[in-house]
Amino acid sequence: MQQTKLGMPVVSEAPSVVRPAMKQKSGLRRFFIAVRPYLMIAPAMVVFALFLIYPIFYMVYLSFFDWNMIGEMKFIGVQNYTNMFSDSDFWQVLGNSIYYMVMVVILEMALSLLLAAYLNKNTRVNQILQTIAFTPYITSMVSVAFIWMWMMDSDYGLLNYFLSFFGVDPIGWLSDPKVAMNALVLVSVWKGLGYNTIIIISAMQAVPGYLYEAAALDKTPKWKSFYKITLPMISPSIFFLALMNIISALKVFETVNIMTKGGPMNSTNTLVYNIYQYGFQYFKIGYASALGVALMVVIGIFTLIYFKVLSKRVYYSN
Amino acid sequence: MCKMEKITLRNITKAYGKNPPVIENLNLGIEEGSFTVLLGPSGCGKSTVLRMIAGLEKTTAGDVLIDGISVRDVEPGDRNIAMVFQNYALYPTMSVRDNIEFGLKNMKVGKDERNARIAEVAEMVGLTEYLSRKPANLSGGQRQRVALARAIVKKPAVFLMDEPLSNLDAKLRTQIRTDLIELHQRLKTTFVYVTHDQVEAMSMGTDIVLMDQGTIQQHAAPAEIYASPANVFTARFIGSPPMNVVPAEAAHGKAPEFVSKVGFRPERSHIVRPGEKLSEDTVLIDGNMLAREMLGDQTQYKMETENGTVFVKEFKDDLIDYGQHQIAVKLADIACFDMQGKLCGFGLQKE
């Protein structure tokens, strides 16, 4: 204790040397120094502006025109919007999109939380299971959609075949207007489950173990330590995942396009598929752009509500 | 044993996986109402012992008894204990109040009782005005007090503390040290305290259990462990600076043959002043001063002798200059250790 090595540096007097006056920089050099940061971010900003900012404004601009992509552009003011709001199909599509989003987000979050809680323990079996759960996420949505379409076929599909063992009548997975949207929800939840689970597991494993020890000494039941410790601690991840799920669910396209084409009876038509129909099947670019603006606003509103309502309940460690 | 044992460890062995055990066949009795300090260098197994008492670690073999009853199948929450962790382990998402209240709620304590207890304990540790804050907005010392309050409020029969002061600065550490002694005096419950700092152990403990490499080196009251260290390890661990232990040759043949090492406390030696009259029963050692530390009431000298470096601690006003000196130690103050490093007594035979 208190052993000191020899040769301690002797504290010298504080340097009181006056620095030589700085060289006056030339005007050009000063200009370069001022501009340099902007030059550095310029490439990124150009790409950002070209592919993100410009298309958004161009879409808004197009929504005030009547245009078929080839002929002359005709300015029609807010006609596209008044048409849209008075069209019952639009409201159905909007309702479909919101229903789809709510279902996907709730199921996705609830199931991935349960799965994560189950797979959290880092055993070898769980690592294999995690990998299996993650596979759908890295598989192409198109292949996934085709395989599910085949499995959901009402006459030859695997699902109805299995259900027949239990005496269940064949279900029109993709042909019954009451069921079709839920079938798409199922596919989407199945595909995203692994990704959400992995993110939640990694958040759970970042919760310090001593908190659970303190909880054990506080006589905390298992479910309560999950609800009062785990959940608040992983809330930033859940908040982020749910927001990503909201946005991506509102933008669903591939499954609709491949599995149902918006049918039956428009029951699975969503905003993005509707945009695709108007833009690239009916060539009503102006109306499609108006729908695009509507989608943007809807996503904006949900994101805003989400932040307002939930962000206060998220715990961020500093 | 006249006093009742609150906690008994019976033939405890602890091994992690297939590695050799970190603790093997350990027996320890902790008296009811004592402030027992588990002391030792890092990695000696003291925290593991504490965690086994808490139930956070399972014993590989052997039994932990509380009030004479085995707690093998008793959950940590049902052992009537409270623990203060080194990093406090406060629930970061909860306010100070919720942190303190959490355990009480789980123990199904009624609301009025909870409020009364929280108010009392908050007053006791001086947290009343911080009850609504989150732990992140508290200083280290305040967090420490929340951790203490969380333990006290449960009114446990045993307090377990795992190096609770090591994350605090030196000044706060001495202050909370006194607070803990006060707390122990006030509550009269059993405290089991883990530390690697012998000053904490000496100042707070009523009993010290000194451990090294998973075995107990000495279990005694602080005064006894200081006055008669059981072995070289204990002698070299207790005291600041600890006892000087040198090979028996340093005694110039004055030590009996079975003695392999001799030692003396720095504060029981002094540097010979010019013209100083020395009594006959004094041993003189030549040494060259390497360093000098003036601490106000005391001065510490680090001296190089032909048998290694030793420390001399004096409570005198005059400073000795650097250079060659003689260190004087009374024969009666020289501890003798045998081949196994065990203490075999004080005092060397006179010439």
Judging contacts by C-beta atoms under 8 Å, the chain B residues touching residue A316 are none
Tell me, yes or no, whether B342 lies in a domain. Answer: yes
pLDDT of residue B170: 87
pLDDT at A19 over 90: no
Q: If you count residue pairs, one on A and one on B, with CB atoms under 8 Å apart, how many are there?
A: 77
pLDDT for A277 beyond 70: yes
Looking at B233, B257, B274, which one is the last position of a domain?
A: B233
Model confidence at B1, in pLDDT bands (50, 70, 90)? very low
What does pLDDT average to over chain A? 87
Claim to verify: residue B27 and residue B141 sit in the same structural domain: yes
B241 contacts on A by Cβ (under 8 Å): 1-2
Lowest mean pLDDT among A119-123, B10-14, B17-21, B242-246: A119-123
- Do B229 and B258 sit in the same domain of this protein? no
Q: What's the CA dihedral at B237, B241, B243, B244 to 10 degrees?
A: 120
The whole-number pLDDT of residue A8 equals 44
Domain tally, chain B: 2
Q: Does the structure show a pLDDT above 50 at A4?
A: no
> A312 versus B118: which is more confidently predicted?
B118
Residue A118 placed within a domain = yes
B338-343: long-range contacts (C-beta < 8 A, 24 or more apart)? B338/B258, B338/B259, B338/B260, B339/B258, B339/B260, B340/B231, B341/B231, B341/B232, B341/B233, B341/B260, B341/B261, B342/B230, B342/B231, B343/B228, B343/B229, B343/B230, B343/B231, B343/B235
B187 belongs to a structural domain: yes
- Measured from the Cβ of residue A229, the count of other Cβ atoms closer than 10 Å reads 22
Asked whether residue B211 falls in the same domain as residue B184, the answer is: yes
Say if B76 falls within a structural domain.
yes
Both B207 and B93 in one domain: the answer is yes
Report the b/e string of A263-274 with b at 16+ CB within 10 A: ebeebbbbbbbb
Q: Is residue A47 part of a domain?
A: no
Residue A5 has pLDDT above 70, yes or no: no
Same domain, yes or no, for B55 and B176?
A: yes
CA distance B241 to B295: 13
In a domain, A143, yes or no: yes
Query: Within this chain, do residues B224 and B251 fall inside the same structural domain, yes or no?
Result: no
Mean pLDDT, residues B286-296: 92
How many domains would you assign to chain A? 1
For residue A227, give the chain B residue with the closest CA. Answer: B93
Would you say residue B21 has pLDDT above 70?
yes
Query: Per the domain annotation, does A205 fall within a domain?
Result: yes
The verdict on B205 and B301 lying in the same domain is no
Measured CA to CA, the distance from residue A47 to residue B179 in angstroms comes to: 63
Q: Which helix (H) or strand (E) covers residue B235, if one does?
A: helix B232-237
**Structure tokens given for A309:** 């309502």
- Separation of first and last alpha carbons in chain A: 36
Q: What rounded mean pLDDT belongs to chain B?
A: 90
The answer to whether position A220 is within a domain reads: yes
Return all residues near A252 (Cβ < 8 A) that are at least 6 apart.
Answer: A97, A100, A184, A188, A270, A272, A273
Answer yes or no: do B209 and B288 share one domain. no
Judgement on whether residues B225 and B309 belong to the same structural domain of the protein: no
Per-residue pLDDT of B132-180, as tens digits, reads 999 999 998 899 999 999 999 999 999 999 999 988 888 888 988 999 9
Which has more confidence, A8 or A251?
Answer: A251
Beta bridge partners of A25: none
CATH number at residue A166: 1.10.3720.10
Assigned domain for B303 exists: yes
If you search the block for the tokens 């003689």, which residue do you land on?
Answer: B326
Judge whether B63 lies within some domain: yes
Residue A230 lies in a domain: yes
Q: What six digits make up the tokens of A164?
A: 């027949």
pLDDT of residue B178: 93
Residue A281: pLDDT band (50, 70, 90) is very high
Residue B277 included in any domain: yes
pLDDT for res A169: 85
Asked if residue B268 lies in contact with residue B347, where contact means CB atoms within 8 angstroms, the answer is: no
**What does the pLDDT average to over B277-302?**
90
Give A254 to chain B, closest Cα distance, Å.
Answer: 40
Structural tokens at position B202: 């000496």
- Other CB atoms within 10 Å distance of the CB of residue B3: 10
The pLDDT-based confidence of B249 (bands split at 50, 70, 90) is: confident
A75 belongs to a structural domain: no
Query: In the predicted model, is pLDDT for residue A17 greater than 90?
Result: no
Interchain contact, B93 vs A315, CB within 8 Å: yes
Helix A79-86 with A285-310: angle, nearest 10 deg? 70
* Chain B positions in Cβ-Cβ contact with residue A208 (cut-off 8 Å): 89
User: Given a cut of 90, is residue B278 above it in pLDDT?
Assistant: no
pLDDT over 70 (residue A2): no
Would you call B75 and A229 a contact, using CB atoms and an 8 Å cutoff?
A: no
B106, A218: Cβ pair inside 8 Å? yes
Alpha-carbon gap, residue B24 to B246, rounded angstroms = 30
Better-predicted residue by pLDDT, B219 or B43 = B219
Measure CA of the first residue to CA of the last residue in chain B; give whole Å. 43
Structural domain of A242: 88-313
CATH of the domain at B201: 3.40.50.300
In a domain, B54, yes or no: yes
pLDDT at A20: 55
d(CA B163, CA A216): 19
Q: Is residue A107 part of a domain?
A: yes
pLDDT digits (tens, 9 = 90+) for A178-234: 899 999 999 999 999 999 999 999 999 999 999 999 999 999 998 999 999 999 999
CA distance A213 to B85: 10
Residues B152 and B220 both lie in one domain: yes
In this predicted model, what pLDDT tens digit does every residue of B181-194 receive, in sequence order?
Answer: 999 999 999 999 99
Highest mean pLDDT among A169-178, A244-253, B275-284: A244-253
DSSP for A2-71, written as a single string: ----S-PPPPPPPP-PPPPPPPPPPHHHHHHHHHHHHHHHHHHHHHHIIIIIHHHHHHHHHTTEE--SSS
Q: Check whether residue B60 and residue B195 sit in a common domain.
A: yes
DSSP A136: H
CB contact under 8 A, B82 and A4: no
| Interchain contact, B102 vs A211, CB within 8 Å | no
Q: What is the pLDDT of residue A82?
A: 93
pTM summary value: 0.80
Q: Which residues of B63-95 are buried (b: 16+ CB within 10 A; e: fewer)?
A: ebbbeeeebeeeebbebebbbbbbebbbbbbbb
pLDDT for B331 equals: 86
What's the pLDDT band for A1 if we cut at 50, 70, 90? Answer: very low
Q: Which band of pLDDT confidence, cut at 50, 70 and 90, is reported for residue A7?
A: very low
Q: Residue B104, SS3? A: helix
> Hey, are the CB atoms on B103 and A218 less than 8 Å from each other?
yes
Domain limit, last residue, from B212, B233, B254? B233
Are residues B188 and B322 both part of a single domain?
A: no
pLDDT digits (tens, 9 = 90+) for A68-117: 888 888 999 899 999 999 999 999 999 999 999 999 999 999 999 999 99
In terms of Cα–Cα distance, which of B4, B211, B212 is closest to B220? B211
Q: Which residue in the set A6, A216, A233 is minimally distant from B290, CB to CB?
A: A6
Range of the domain at B63: 5-233
Please report the sign of the dihedral spanned by the C-alpha atoms of residue A59, residue A61, residue A63, residue A67.
negative
Residues of A in contact with B54 (CB under 8 A): 217
Among B233, B264, B283, the domain-final residue is B233
Chain B residue closest to A215 (CA)? B103
Residue B279's CATH number = 2.40.50.140
pLDDT of residue A21: 56
Closest CA to B10 of B21, B25, B30: B25
Q: What is the pLDDT of residue B251?
A: 74
What is the pLDDT, as a whole number, of residue A24?
A: 66
Instruction: Indicate if the pLDDT at residue A41 is higher than 90.
Output: yes
